[in-house]
Structure 1
Amino acid sequence: MKTSRLLKRKPAPKRAKVRFGRPPKELAGEVDTRILDAARKVFLERGFEGASIDEIADVARAGKPTIYARFRDKRALFTAVVTRDILSRIAEFRATVPTGATIEARLISAASTLLHWGLDSERIALMRLAIAESRRFPDLASTVGRTARDLSTELGVRLLGELTKSDELRSLPAFAPKQLATTARFFLDLIAVPMLFRALFEVDLKTLDAEIDAHVARSVPFFLAACRRGSMR
């Protein structure tokens, strides 16, 4: 009997089964982030109509069943991307304590930081896409608009709240606790909203970014003068 016949073939190693759907809890957050990041990239490159779940799955390195386990369809995925990247990022913004020798300098520092952060190219591109798709997603457009305004007002209250620790501002009616939300809204409408509108309709964001500091330096003294004269009602 030949030696080769005496040797038994070793069984081929079993392949690990490929699992689709939800991963273990400890990895779920990472997978969700990967899918949303990939979807944002594809939506920005292709638009809503041109994007496909197949391409998003390839970019996310995730199976289609994994995506569909989390998002009902492409519409639900688009809604999640817009909600996360516009609303969640507003809520997550944390500015450092404003610095400067005067109240005006501290407020200029805070406003400039906010605008430079808020007008980055990807965030503005996604907002443009959401506006372009507003007829397809009317509820999303109205909800995002209202919620973004509410969240930005809360952000303005936080920024101005740091300044109310100053004896000078604490005594002004515009910075009283009951009035602070209204004052914050005036502050944002005067300083942030004009630049946001320009960002949505002007292609060259680098040029706009270079104008932020000068715009803030002009607007903040006007805002503070109105506060000191008691005009914020």
Structure 2
Amino acid sequence: MNDLREEPARRKSPARATVRLGRPPKEMEGEVEERILDAAHKVFLERGFEGSSIDEIAVAARSGKPTIYARIGDKRALFTAVVMRDVVGRIAQFKSDMSIDGTIEERLVRVAIAMLQWTLESERMALLRLAIAEVNRFPEIASQVSRNAQKLSTEVAVGFLGEMAQTDEIGRLPAFAPERIAVTARAFLDLVVMPMLMRGLAEQKVDVLSEEVTAHVKGRVPFFLAACRHGG
């Protein structure tokens, strides 16, 4: 009888941790893109467009280059996305406490000061300057930013003016009629907000300019209201 050799039992290999490859769950996709744009925003401000690289942005975002190319595109597309999100997209998010206390002039002054302080925030201005510096390289960005910023800022101003008009006798003026209030809102922005914004783009120290905001607004708001009351 032949000797029977018992085969040693095979050891089971330890279970391997499951690794998910490919795209993240849908609920995380927005988070990934926000992380990429946040990193690109930081790198572009520190290095400028020419001095930045997708490699550096990928490291800062803790993301792979293929992910950036697949989700947003090359450096040009990434720069466009950052500018549009942080310069234009944030306009629609502007909020200010709409206190009903005080006269219409006092309420407009409070809103305008809050709007200018928000606009002149240093990082926001730095990105605007960077976009302007690259206008020859990306003329389409300047055009797109300008159109969208004008549209969104007008919508924000219409909302504030319309709400004020409902609680004040000024709402009976032709300038605040539904068919004219968008033009009135644009005039308010051009008269009160735009001059300080243009100065902010040229001023190196925005903090110094911020000290002039209150005096600027208090001088412009009465002029705006006088024009509205006299058919302007």
Q: Deviations over 1:103-138 (max 9, x none)?
A: 111111111111111111111111111111111111
Letter in 1 for 2:28: L
Q: Which residue of structure 2 aligns with residue 189 of structure 1?
A: 190
> What is the CA-CA distance between 1:71 and the residue it aligns to?
1.7
Segment of structure 1 superposing worse, 102-111 or 160-169: 160-169
Q: Which residue of structure 1 aligns with residue 135 of structure 2?
A: 134
Q: Distance in 2 between matches of 1:101 and 1:68?
A: 53
Letter in 2 for 1:19: L
Q: Distance in 2 between matches of 1:116 and 1:167?
A: 26
Task: Please say if 1:19 is aligned against 2:21.
Answer: yes
Q: Which residue of structure 1 aligns with residue 36 of structure 2?
A: 35
Segment of structure 1 superposing worse, 98-107 or 171-180: 98-107
Distance 1:18 1:45, change over 3 A: farther
Q: Distance in 1 between matches of 2:57 and 2:136?
A: 23
> What is the CA-CA distance between 1:13 and the residue it aligns to?
6.3
> What is the CA-CA distance between 1:16 and the residue it aligns to?
5.2
Q: Distance in 1 between matches of 2:200 and 2:16?
A: 56
Q: Distance in 1 between matches of 2:185 and 2:153?
A: 9
Tell me if structure 2 keeps the 8 A contact 1:98–1:107: no
Tell me if structure 1 keeps the 8 A contact 2:200–2:206: yes
Q: Distance in 1 between matches of 2:168 and 2:132?
A: 43
Q: Distance in 1 between matches of 2:202 and 2:100?
A: 32
SS where residue 69 of structure 1 aligns?
helix
Q: Deviations over 1:51-90 (max 9, x none)?
A: 1111101111111122112022111111110111111101
Q: Which structure 2 residue ranges, 5 or more long, are not aligned?
A: 1-7
Q: How many correspondences in the alignment?
A: 225
Q: Distance in 2 between matches of 1:80 and 1:145?
A: 15
Letter in 2 for 1:65: P
The normalised TM-score by structure 2 is 0.90
Q: Which structure 1 residue ranges, 5 or more long, are not aligned?
A: 1-5
Task: Please say if 1:147 is aligned against 2:132.
Answer: no
Q: Deviations over 1:196-218 (max 9, x none)?
A: 00110000111111211111111
Task: Please say if 1:100 is aligned against 2:101.
Answer: yes
SS where residue 211 of structure 2 aligns?
helix
Q: Distance in 2 between matches of 1:217 and 1:167?
A: 19
Q: Percent identity?
A: 58
Q: Distance in 2 between matches of 1:55 and 1:142?
A: 28
Letter in 2 for 1:197: M
The normalised TM-score by structure 1 is 0.90
Q: Distance in 1 between matches of 2:209 and 2:11?
A: 71
> What is the CA-CA distance between 1:14 and the residue it aligns to?
3.8
Letter in 1 for 2:63: A
SS where residue 192 of structure 1 aligns?
helix
Q: Distance in 2 between matches of 1:176 and 1:218?
A: 25
Tell me if structure 2 keeps the 8 A contact 1:99–1:109: no
Q: Which residue of structure 2 aligns with residue 3 of structure 1?
A: none
> What is the CA-CA distance between 1:11 and the residue it aligns to?
4.8
Q: Distance in 1 between matches of 2:99 and 2:216?
A: 18
CA RMSD of aligned residues (A): 1.9
Letter in 1 for 2:179: K
Q: Distance in 2 between matches of 1:149 and 1:155?
A: 10
